[in-house]
Structure 1
């Protein structure tokens, strides 16, 4: 197995563990608080520091790695470590300043994120947010440690970073139910600090040593700011979409924010498992090919990456649409999460799943442009999609009866528009890159997924009628239906001769022969 493949497999394994715990966190919250005012308040409180710094942290990580390599290659290890500590300390100061501002203006900030909150829900959200915003510094330096480890070719530890965070949240949820809901944010705050503490020993093994050094005039810091700006705006667009969705959801029936969140987490489980792992490994490869001006291999890598995502995501999205209700019921419906919450979450999941291919390809295409040192194109296209999302949100909620479904549908449409714009922009930038192969694979995948949907639906209804209801019986029914659908999809894409599948089969055959 190649070094790139090993890195991808290792990252997928780490991501699977982290995502399972993250999903366990959502199950614990759903079971303990259902789709209630408390769960809405807690989710908004968690979202605020994430929105404030996730965009900045992701952008810093994107810019940090190439600049670290530049300093290391031209000035040596000591200079690159000095640069790391400079970034580290500047981020701490920025986060402390943001925490102070957030603590002073907590209530107006919460009202900005959830305009429909009032009474006890608003009071809870303000308290939760005031506690969690204290963890901004830990959140910020966690991203720097993650970038440092990645530049040292350690992908597994950053992939496992959410593990202690999710464990602490699960514990705080279980304890808060028995004692007091106000304990929820304190466990989460402790979890935020552990994300940094968890990575630090591994970073030190790779040569990291802390020094209290700050130089705002460093030319690499100035260059970093220049590189970060477009990426920051592009990442912030996604966060703004989330804010808009949740803000409008706060004006709908109680539990709407929670339903959107649970449906989003199901989609993000798939995205995190496959898409992030693929893009994280493909990004440095594309950057290298771009710097070498190897256009043929560069274009081939684009086609392979896009088609791989297409073949994985389309059947998953179709399966989620036709089995949304039984999936949500099996995973969430227990404790305070009742049939009403199941119905709300399933509706959101169906309409989010329509745009799943958009969410997946958006990340891959974004990395393609970054590898070409073009950060402006994804930013511009992202802004266009954000405006479209806001307009559609208002239209679907105000002028139709879609309500919650409308918010999810608007997000899906904007994601699909984004990838269309990115494909057009990429064609203009580099010329023909294999668009016919991409369209062919997508059409074949859609046809195969259509056949899969028919078989899956038939098998599910047949087995459900035979076995009846009950957790174990419903789980068996779902597994059998999904298994039958997967077999049909696999056979169909083999018959239709999708290139990427043939390549995988040839590699498997060669391994068996050896």
Structure 2
């Protein structure tokens, strides 16, 4: 598992770098303008309308596929997969039709502050991006299929061709003065992702079948698992809706500033958290279906500490260097000084909840593997209620930054609640040992941040800003991992030992 996680982190890092280039390109050509706000809303609406269903289905898919394959055989599992895809295609056609008819009211729900040209642009973009839902169905299901088949690389590299196509569409749209190419570029990128997944799925024995059976017992069981996830995702999307609606009212470009800040925290989440959970989820699902609870709890413990090892230092580093990081990545072209201030503030306060957000994903997937989707749903509902209350309390005082802080506080609170619920369900996860590891990681992160702060000031006096920040980050990472080497954290020590064994084997 450790080898797969490390490889996945490297591949995800490459994908995220290209994804960053996409966001930097959008920031350069459109900044925090009305067009960028309209484009981002047009991206968000299909995700909310259908993405919540897709997430629930793909989450329930792996535990059910594992059970069907073990009890009924691979052919039944393949039939179940195709039936699920075909049912979703029919269902999504209804959603798309309704979305095309009621586009403007839907956009107004998502961004009540939009008026005039920005509103018209968002409506036009959304009518195009809604068509991408068809490709999203295949992308979600086939990605889960390949992850179960242990072909993790392909789904996690899909972001590269997608980002390159979107980058090309952004540049072309700006150069030709035709913003509609932004929306068409997104749909084209989704189509390419679908083709790539289809090719590799066929190499892993997937075959498309014309099966449509609403009475299938396996489909019914999967829906029972998926419905709580769908409801949980729905309330989370309501939360994002409130965030974006308030952002559209707080400031022009507020939606874009939140998006860029979220992109930065999502970079850490995507590389570290997603890499761990992508490998962990199929593994613990198999362990749960076989009744191997001790092995499952050990894997969970290692995954939780692993997420903390990587997200805690990233959190501390982001808190210290929020503004320089935003300046380095986005401060050019149409992205002006006011955009830097807005985005930096949001990034700072999003960073506070980075660890909580990561651990919540790990803990939620632990419940999913046990075929308990209700507990994460209730947790998500509590998080949304808390977040919305905090939004209305903090946004009038802190603006965009208040929306980000509300998200972080609710994530931390609900992660603690999930820990409590998981302990009640499966017993001890060696919490004392876990807490000791967390304290050691926090101490190493604090020393790293303090040293980096003073090193950065020195470098700024003798070199230009970009190399000063990059060199400071490198030195901070060296300090952090050197400290970990002396702190005796089991998850870290096992990872280092595994790398040493691999290197020793290659150089024999």
2:489 corresponds to 1:491:
no
Query: Which of 445, 449, 469 does residue 478 from structure 1 map onto?
Result: 469
**Does residue 1:463 correspond to 2:454, yes or no?**
no
Matched, 1:419 2:434: no
On the 8 A contact 2:66/2:286 being kept in 1, the answer is no
CA distance in 1, matches of 2:503, 2:3: 19
1:510 to 1:157, Cα distance in 2 relative to 1, 3 A:
closer
Q: 1:435 to 1:101 in 2, by over 3 A?
A: same
Q: CA 1:491–1:217 in 2, change beyond 3 Å: closer, same or farther?
A: same
**Mapping of residues 363-374 of structure 1, within 5 Å:** 363-374=361-372
Displacement, 1:513?
Answer: 6.1
- Point out where structure 1 has 5 or more consecutive residues left out of the alignment: 468-472
Residue of structure 1 equivalent to 2:439: 443
Q: Give, in whole Å, the separation in 1 of the partners of 2:289 and 2:261.
A: 40
Task: Return the alpha-carbon distance in structure 2 between the equivalents of residues 479 and 93 of structure 1.
Answer: 50
How far does residue 139 in structure 1 lie from its aligned partner after superposition? 1.2
In the alignment, is the contact (CA less than 8 A) between 1:91 and 1:141 conserved in 2?
no
Contact 1:286 1:371 in 2 (8 A): yes
User: 1:502/1:189 Cα in 2 relative to 1: closer, same or farther (>3 Å)?
Assistant: closer
* Distance of 1:210 and 1:302 partners within structure 2: 35
Please say if 1:337 is aligned against 2:335: yes
CA distance in 1, matches of 2:497, 2:5: 20
Select which of 157, 161, 165 maps to 2:162.
165
| DSSP 3-state at the match of 1:251 | helix
2:124 counterpart (124, 127, 130): 127
Counterpart of 1:67 in structure 2 is 64
* Cα distance in 1 between the residues matched to 2:429 and 2:318: 31
Q: CA deviation at 1:208?
A: 2.5
Equivalent pair of 2:148/2:282 in contact (CA under 8 Å): no
The CA distance in 1 between the partners of 2:268 and 2:467, in whole Å, is: 21
Q: Aligned in 2, Cα 1:212/1:505: closer, same or farther, shift over 3 Å?
A: closer
Q: Aligned with 2:205: secondary structure?
A: coil
CA contact (8 A) 2:322 2:348 kept: yes
Residue 313 of structure 2 is aligned to residue 315 of structure 1: yes
Query: Which residue of structure 1 aligns with residue 495 of structure 2?
Result: 504
Which sits farther off after the overlay, 354-363 or 234-243? 234-243
Question: Displacement, 1:350?
Answer: 0.3
8 Å CA contact 2:63–2:371 kept in 1: the answer is no
User: 1:464: Cα distance to partner?
Assistant: 0.5
| TM-score of the aligned structures, taking structure 1 as reference length | 0.94
What are the residue-to-residue correspondences of 1:76-87 with 2, within 5 Å? 76-87=73-84
Is this contact kept in 2: 1:459–1:480, CA < 8 A?
no
Matches of 1:257 and 1:136 in 2, distance apart? 23
1:466: how far off? 2.0
Q: Distance in 2 between matches of 1:433 and 1:183?
A: 51
- Whether the 8 Å contact between 2:173 and 2:181 is mirrored in structure 1 is yes
Alpha carbons of structure 1 residues 488 and 78: separation in structure 2 relative to 1, 3 Å: closer
The TM-score, its normalising length taken from structure 2, stands at 0.95
| Structure 1 segment 151-190 matched on structure 2, within 5 A | 151-179=148-176, 180-190=178-188
Deviation at 1:320, TM superposition (A): 0.8
> Paired residue for 1:221?
219
Instruction: Report what 2:268 is aligned to.
Output: 270
Preserved CA contact (<8 Å) 2:63 2:369? no
**Partner residue, 2:102:** 105
Partner of 2:138: 141
Three-state SS of the structure 2 residue aligned to 1:185 is helix
TM-superposed deviation, 1:496: 3.3
SS at match of 2:467: helix
Q: Is the 8 A contact 1:29 1:173 kept in 2?
A: yes
1:453 deviates by: 1.6
Q: Taking structure 1 as reference, are residues 511 and 18 closer, same or farther at Cα in structure 2, changes over 3 Å only?
A: closer
CA apart distance, 1:310: 0.8
What is the aligned length? 504
Matched, 1:256 2:254: yes
- Indicate the residue corresponding to 1:470 in structure 2: none
Alignment RMSD: 1.8
3-state SS, counterpart of residue 206 of structure 2: coil
Q: Are the structure 2 counterparts of residues 361 and 224 from structure 1 closer, same or farther at C-alpha, using a change threshold of 3 Å?
A: same
- Matches of 2:89 and 2:102, distance apart in 1: 20
CA distance change for structure 1 residues 200 and 364 in 2, over 3 Å: closer, same or farther?
Answer: same
- How far does residue 210 in structure 1 lie from its aligned partner after superposition? 2.3
Aligned-partner Cα distance in 2 for 1:40–1:485: 35
Distance 1:305 1:19 in 2: 21
> What's the CA shift for 1:84?
2.1
Deviation at 1:48, TM superposition (A): 0.6
How much has 1:292 moved relative to structure 2? 4.0
1:406 pairs with 389, 402, 406, which one? 402
